[in-house]
Amino acid sequence: MRRLASLAAIALCGAAAVGGCTPRAYVSETCAKQIGHLQKGDRHLRRMAARELAKYPEAAPETVPLLVEALKDEDLHVRTFAAGSLIRLTGRDFGRRHGDWKAWYRKHRDEIRTAPVETLVDGVRKSRAELAYTKGQSALGAAAYRQAASFFNDAVSNDPTDPRFHNGLGVALLRMGHYADALEKFHDALAREPKLASAHMNVGEVHRQRARDYAIVTGTYLERAREAIAYSREEEAEKAAREAKKAAELRLKSLGAAVEAYDVAISVEDPKRPNWNPRLGKGRALFDLRRFDEAIAALHEARSIDASVPDIYSAMALVYYARDQYHLAWKAYQEVRRLGCDMQPEFVQRLKEQIEVAGGTDEP
């Protein structure tokens, strides 16, 4: 043990090129051994040490400058592992660029050295969480939902107190179709911040997506019932009809829950920064409930916030069509086209036919 302590002291003082160091009592024997490997070991030991030192955030005042210097190692793998450990320990990402890491360390070394151990460990974890969250957001934008879930899960693991991380994980799970798990994460976020509008909106999205699935299930069982009736299988037809009714009831229940969640999201949002998203979701859910007047009102409100969102106009076109207001539906569809998008060709064709039948000045 004395040999390891001496080895650690020698190794730590070798960081003077970056700004010197003061050995800390909380460098464990295992950590001290890895420090020795990084300084004096062969390339295999240096590689292992450069990777393993990320596991000791409490020793960051000693290990960070050593890892910065390891970025000049002749072995590429040592440099790569050292950069990875620095990213995990600091929450910063300068790749393998020794100069950038050295400049950053010189600027922050005093706060790293003097911070209490508990504060240091907590800060490292929060930095890791923020970095993971940022990567998760990027993965979401790239539709890499499984990867996003992994990043958000890392963020939650490092800092379970931040509602954003739970909310982000819920979004990734929702995009993958894991509704129950997603709903749990959104509720975890709301347990930490009851007025987090985005989490309430996402709860609404879960219920609306579930309603769409229940609609599919309803249609499937109705088709089975019709087929059974055609072949005089009465018992089978009755069973399928019961399942269809059950699914239809669950669909209506989910849509009602969606509208309620969207309303809560709207009620807790910052009035200076209203969001069109929950209003669009509410409008779509109300349309599915055939509450067309309320749906149009919600969609108009969404449009008043941002008139450049094609999805708002496509939703309006569907509602107007359902209300037999074909010319208004056509105007909404024209806005969709103006904004560079389109709707399903079958719907557009039906709309054109209805306008021709109805007549009027706004011909397609």
DSSP codes of every residue in 337-352: HHTT----HHHHHHHH
Cβ-defined contacts of 314-322 (< 8 Å, 24+): 314/341, 314/343, 315/280, 315/283, 315/284, 315/287, 316/283, 317/343, 317/347, 317/351, 318/287, 318/347, 319/283, 319/287, 319/292, 319/295, 320/296, 321/347, 321/350, 321/351, 321/354, 322/287, 322/290, 322/292
Amino acid at 351: L
- Count the Cβ atoms, other than its own, within 10 Å of residue 300: 13
Which pTM was predicted? 0.71
Residue 339 and residue 101: Cα distance in Å, rounded? Answer: 45
> Do residues 165 and 131 lie in contact, with contact meaning Cβ atoms separated by under 8 Å?
no
Burial class (CB in 10 A: 0-12, 13-18, 19+), 19: middle
Residue 342 and residue 311: Cα distance in Å, rounded? Answer: 10
The answer to whether residue 94 is domain-embedded is: yes
Phi and psi at residue 95, to the nearest 5°: 60, -140
Mean pLDDT confidence for 91-98? 87
Task: Please write the tens of the pLDDT for every residue from 228-282.
Answer: 999 989 999 999 999 999 999 999 999 999 999 999 999 999 999 999 999 999 9
Is 74 found in the same domain as 6?
Answer: yes
Q: What is the token pair recorded at 279? A: 């209003």
pLDDT, greater one: 97 or 92:
97
The answer to whether residue 280 is domain-embedded is: no
Mean pLDDT confidence for 182-208? 97
Is 79 found in the same domain as 174?
Answer: no
Cα 317 from chain centroid?
A: 30
Is 50 found in the same domain as 6?
Answer: yes
The answer to whether residue 240 is domain-embedded is: no
Cα separations in angstroms, 304 against 276, 292, 300: 8, 18, 6
> Do residues 46 and 37 lie in contact, with contact meaning Cβ atoms separated by under 8 Å?
yes
Residue 336 and residue 330: Cα distance in Å, rounded? Answer: 10
Is 130 found in the same domain as 85?
Answer: no
Nearest Cα residue to 210 out of 189, 188, 180: 180
The answer to whether residue 139 is domain-embedded is: yes
Task: Please write the tens of the pLDDT for every residue from 97-146.
Answer: 999 999 998 998 887 776 666 666 677 788 888 889 999 999 999 999 99
Domain of 141?
Answer: 126-192
Q: What is the pLDDT of residue 59?
A: 83
Local confidence band at 358 (pLDDT 50, 70, 90 cut-offs): confident
Residue 364 and residue 61: Cα distance in Å, rounded? Answer: 70
Is 40 found in the same domain as 64?
Answer: yes
The answer to whether residue 86 is domain-embedded is: yes
Q: What is the token pair recorded at 57? A: 């955030």
- The total of structural domains in the chain comes to 2
pLDDT, greater one: 43 or 6:
43
pLDDT, greater one: 256 or 14:
256
Local confidence band at 161 (pLDDT 50, 70, 90 cut-offs): very high
Cα 191 from chain centroid?
A: 18
Looking at residue 172, which CATH number applies to its domain?
Answer: 1.25.40.10
Is 173 found in the same domain as 147?
Answer: yes
Q: What is the pLDDT of residue 87?
A: 85
Indicate the range of 21-30, 289-298, 324-333 predicted with least confidence.
Answer: 21-30
pLDDT, greater one: 8 or 351:
351
